[in-house]
Structure 1
Amino acid sequence: MSASENYLKQHKDRFLAELVEFLRIPSISSLSEHAADVGRAGEWVADRLRAAGMEEVCLLPSGGSPVVYGEWLHAPGKPTVLLYGHFDTQPVDPVDLWTDPPFEPVVRDGRVYARGASDDKGNMLIPILALESMLKTEGVLPVNVKVFFEGEEEIGSPHLSSVIE
């Protein structure tokens, strides 16, 4: 087992706790009453990227919900990989169809159930954890990495082009 794989195994419980914490943020981008929650989710992602060892981490204003950007550019001559994801979620209605409250994550039979667990908070956190494991054990990445995570994908990314331009 590689040092990176061992690191992931050793920190599995912490990573699960972090995912649960992230999933508790009701970052519903289509509901204006959750605008602050979407912003809080962006801050959470930025803090997590910094903890993982990413550099130049910042929240970029978009005219709507922030975009989180970070990079690690210390692999001269190697390709640059862009990781994209989103930290906003769909609404929870009809809430009475949920087995458990949507923003109170539950682990059942080895699976995490909550709004955003698979779209896209869980899937977005996985590469962050992989980056952390490599940076904490190897000190380097085999490629340059830029991360770009947004908070408006579930509403069609209306402000994304202004950030990219």
Structure 2
Amino acid sequence: MQGTIATPIADLQEQLGARLVDDRVGLVDDKVGLVESRLYDSQEEMNQFVILSLDFDTTSKRFNINIQKSQIKALQDQQAAANECLVGRFTFIDSEVQPLAMARTTNYHFLLPIVLFLIAAVIGMLYALCIWKHHVTQFMHSIECGNPAVRKSVQDARLRGLY
């Protein structure tokens, strides 16, 4: 009797073991499926994020380009308006243009006296500066001779490089 009972128990244990293995394999398959689906979902989300960021970059670049184009267009319009204003002010008849061009080339003889005057003015200013410095130096020397306290402060200032 025990032999007949032992075989059904052994058979039951084998069946239960096989079912347990099948259940564990099924659970592992389910877990792998969940992980794969989560990975696929996260890859889709990452792809959508990359696409959105690329769209944002291209949109912002296009926006910046449009702003630059509009600024360039506005500057060109301002330049065109200024050119029209200048053309309106400085339109000459051909008979007027030729004498003006000739006068411009013949007026260079006034340039030399003007340049010489400017050079003389600069030299005169330098000479006046030298004379002023000489008078200031004499004044400071006269102060040094008179008051000992002033003499000391002037000597200190000279040592520091102020005079």
Q: TM-score range with shorter-chain normalisation?
A: under 0.3
The structure where strand makes up a greater share of residues is 1
The structure where helix makes up a greater share of residues is 2
Question: Which structure has the greater CA radius of gyration?
Answer: 2
